[in-house]
A and B are shown apart, each in its own frame.
Chain A
């Protein structure tokens, strides 16, 4: 395929997503990650191995992808996504997979993709649960229609802090890859306007409808976010006070 998919985060979600996209023959895969492979990652970040300990995750992911399918062109971006570089990094990709592990990056990917009309798959995991939804900007709700802003810093533990069963991001990342492939080939019904929830302990999948919020600061009728500098991604991912009213 001549398609281009960017994966933000070569971690628990990004690992299975990257492997399945490479195996499916997606022509160009971008891996954006600024971390290095650590032993504690390997229980869930299955694209890396003990041979890649200490390596940049983007580079390690590239090696595994190219061993799986040498015809895939892999672009590594060893930068942490922030409001200054996000639009440049996301530009030109057909579809984005949010495999990040923190709220600021999730809101940043959402806001940037909505601004630039880039479809993406969101997913989040913690302990034994995961959730995912697909966002096609302006053709359905976005992540901020589900959650207006981030919980206070420190209020929600990360997977690194609280732990996650390794197979949970495996399941969710495979679903994200499924959505990317469906989008690229134009097949089926995407997980747009629906949130899929996975409970591994009780082995249940549930879903609920998500409606676009006309007052959403990102994709609403009068969006407040017209520029990423208007949002403070350091704390609540809230629109800065002095930016209000511009929409």
Chain B
């Protein structure tokens, strides 16, 4: 399957909960419905919390992948 291209990427490595979620949410608000946000983070608890919170808000989590010591999360805006 071809890789989904992100419309915007935020690198929030070094950020911790709850600011990982807050920054992801603010970045997503600036996108149009259907666009994809790529979130790069390295705070382990956020790997579960951010996708869960995004889905609770109605957005679609396309993938959660570990890349080296970081995580890459793709979210499509509802």
Seen from chain A, the residues whose Cβ lies within 8 Å of a Cβ on chain B are: 124, 126, 129, 131, 146-148, 151-152, 155-157, 195, 197, 206, 208, 213
Chain A's closest residue to B44 (CB) is A155
Residues of A contacting B21 with CB < 8 Å? 146-147
Residues of A contacting B49 with CB < 8 Å? 147, 151
Query: Shortest 6 CB-CB distances between A and B: which pairs?
Result: A151-B45, A151-B17, A156-B16, A147-B18, A206-B26, A155-B45
Complex: A208 Cα to B18 Cα, angstroms:
14
B59 at the interface (CB under 8 A from A): no
A and B contact pairs by CB, cutoff 8 A, 17 listed = A124-B18, A126-B16, A126-B19, A129-B19, A131-B18, A131-B22, A146-B18, A147-B49, A148-B52, A155-B17, A155-B45, A195-B22, A197-B26, A206-B26, A208-B22, A208-B25, A208-B29
B1 at the interface (CB under 8 A from A): no
On whether A197 and B22 interact (CB within 8 A), knowing A151-B16, A151-B17, A213-B56, the answer reads yes
Which residues from 8 to 54 on chain B have a C-beta closer than 8 Å to any C-beta of chain A?
16-19, 21-22, 25-26, 29, 43-45, 49, 52
Complex: A147 Cα to B45 Cα, angstroms:
12
Contact yes or no, A131 B16, CB < 8 A: no
* Shortest beta-carbon distance from B57 to chain A in Å: 8
Complex: A156 Cα to B52 Cα, angstroms:
19
Residues of B contacting A126 with CB < 8 Å? 16, 19
* Shortest beta-carbon distance from B51 to chain A in Å: 13
Contact yes or no, A208 B45, CB < 8 A: no
Chain B's closest residue to A131 (CB) is B22
From B25, B29, B43, B56, contact of A155 by CB (8 A)? B43
Complex: A213 Cα to B55 Cα, angstroms:
13
Contact yes or no, A152 B45, CB < 8 A: yes
* Shortest beta-carbon distance from A222 to chain B in Å: 17
Complex: A152 Cα to B46 Cα, angstroms:
11
Complex: A29 Cα to B16 Cα, angstroms:
33
Contact yes or no, A208 B26, CB < 8 A: yes
Complex: A129 Cα to B22 Cα, angstroms:
11
Complex: A126 Cα to B14 Cα, angstroms:
12
Complex: A26 Cα to B17 Cα, angstroms:
34
Residues of B contacting A147 with CB < 8 Å? 17-18, 21, 49
Chain B's closest residue to A208 (CB) is B25
Beyond A124-B18, A151-B17, A213-B56, 15 additional pairs, beta carbon < 8 A: A126-B19, A131-B19, A131-B22, A146-B18, A147-B21, A148-B52, A151-B45, A155-B16, A155-B44, A156-B16, A156-B17, A157-B16, A197-B22, A206-B26, A208-B25
